[in-house]
A and B are shown apart, each in its own frame.
Chain A
């Protein structure tokens, strides 16, 4: 790497360096914010675009990411894979703590702070998850869930190129997740780029079986992913106990009719 170039690059603040990402997300959020209030029967007013991006992402995944992730899952020893996964999970712990607090889950916030401390020190920079056996299990929180807890509706469903499924409500979470990660403040692209690639491969490797199941079970892959994404987000927002019976209540009227006959 050219040290002069690197030095020049380093003078910029993290926000300046990530300005293109921040700006594009802000523009995207503003662009779609108006549309989010528009009622749509299936909450998917951009289905045509979304389907195109879904198809593009699926092709890119099959051509690039999936083979690399499968190779990674087969050739890298499991303990190393766990270590990599733990390391990235630990980097995201500040985001979890922040959202614990924003949702008023102060006890969880304290526990997750304990997790961060234990895993960052005894767990050698987060490579080992020593906190879970100590009675500090991992929580999954992000800013999209926080907005859900605060009562913000999910808004339109989105499929973004390369980034995948999302909703209007979940888009600001990308920004919050980025700025709460230590990597956002590291000025050296020689560190952040390979780590970013490794993190992406590791996450994709963890999803191998789930995506296989989608490919197997889906009659319409796009719709399947959309509904599974929404169901999963509801599950997370309600901490594993979402309301269940609100679905299609009127459509079960025939059961009452049959029972009465």
Chain B
């Protein structure tokens, strides 16, 4: 919010001006904002940095929930955030490479659904307990095709850091994450290498089965360990 906006807002609330106390449009606007923001958790057309902040704040929240809310609780908590901050369809297309266009629309949809579950499960599994970790954004650059590259560090309890690089693209006016690179290892490169290899040797049905197995394995591990 700019300086003028801040002054207007503070006058409206703390000094009890005419606008703040009497204007029904202003008050209903505030109420609407208060009602809507906890549901969606974000405004439309978020800036790239805001997308990363939202994801990372949600991950810390999920970690704090830890074993108390369990894997299922973290999954439910993170699902809208992960799906709202990642451009899963673009990730899916690139991960399947030339095989994407060979699939029927139904097959593409089923793959998107599985990939979404796998992505949320991955976050809910890795960020499963809080021991004082925190994120810090290091830099924000503009890359090829106007993409944003946001570099960030995850500070662990023992003082070690994991450097993370988020690559975001803009489509339909919305910024979303298309790749995450953790300590030099690109999530998109991993997925693409794995999925295209399975598609070339065993085909779509096998790929779907292996992703389903992976999802089940993650879930079962946390159920067994009570985490």
Is the Cβ of A248 less than 8 Å from the Cβ of B94?
Answer: yes
The number of inter-chain residue pairs (CB within 8 angstroms) is 101
Is the Cβ of B149 less than 8 Å from the Cβ of A223?
Answer: no
Closest A-chain residue to B212, C-beta based?
A219
Is the Cβ of B163 less than 8 Å from the Cβ of A240?
Answer: yes
Q: How far is the CA of A252 from the CA of B146 in the complex (A)?
A: 13
Q: How far is the CA of A252 from the CA of B94 in the complex (A)?
A: 7
Stretch at the interface among B10-18, B31-39, B44-52, B181-189: B181-189
Report how many residues on chain A are interfacial, defined by Cβ distance under 8 Å: 32
Most buried by A among B122, B145, B198, B211: B145
Given contacts A220-B198, A227-B190, contact A255 B214 (CB under 8 A): no
Whole-angstrom distance between the Cβ of A227 and the nearest chain B Cβ = 5
Which A residues are in CB contact (< 8 Å) with B116? none
Does B97 reach chain A (CB closer than 8 Å)?
A: yes
Closest A-chain residue to B202, C-beta based?
A220
Whole-angstrom distance between the Cβ of A41 and the nearest chain B Cβ = 10
Does B60 reach chain A (CB closer than 8 Å)?
A: no
Of residues 189 to 215 in B, which have CB atoms within 8 Å of A's CB atoms? 189-190, 192-195, 197-198, 207, 210-211, 214
Which A residues are in CB contact (< 8 Å) with B143? 244-245
Closest B-chain residue to A231, C-beta based?
B185
Whole-angstrom distance between the Cβ of B197 and the nearest chain A Cβ = 5
Whole-angstrom distance between the Cβ of B161 and the nearest chain A Cβ = 10
B211 partner, pick from A219, A238, A244, A254, beta carbons under 8 A = A219
B165 partner, pick from A236, A244, A252, A259, beta carbons under 8 A = A244
Is the Cβ of A247 less than 8 Å from the Cβ of B221?
Answer: no
Is the Cβ of A244 less than 8 Å from the Cβ of B194?
Answer: no
Does B21 reach chain A (CB closer than 8 Å)?
A: no
Q: How far is the CA of A231 from the CA of B193 in the complex (A)?
A: 12
Q: How far is the CA of A224 from the CA of B192 in the complex (A)?
A: 10
The 10 closest A-B pairs by CB, nearest first: A235-B184, A231-B185, A220-B194, A223-B194, A231-B184, A227-B193, A219-B194, A251-B94, A219-B210, A227-B190
Q: What are 26 A-B contacts with C-beta separation under 8 Å? A: A216-B221, A217-B122, A219-B194, A220-B194, A220-B197, A220-B210, A224-B194, A227-B193, A228-B190, A231-B181, A235-B184, A238-B184, A240-B163, A244-B143, A244-B149, A245-B147, A245-B167, A247-B179, A247-B189, A248-B188, A251-B97, A252-B169, A254-B93, A255-B90, A255-B169, A258-B172
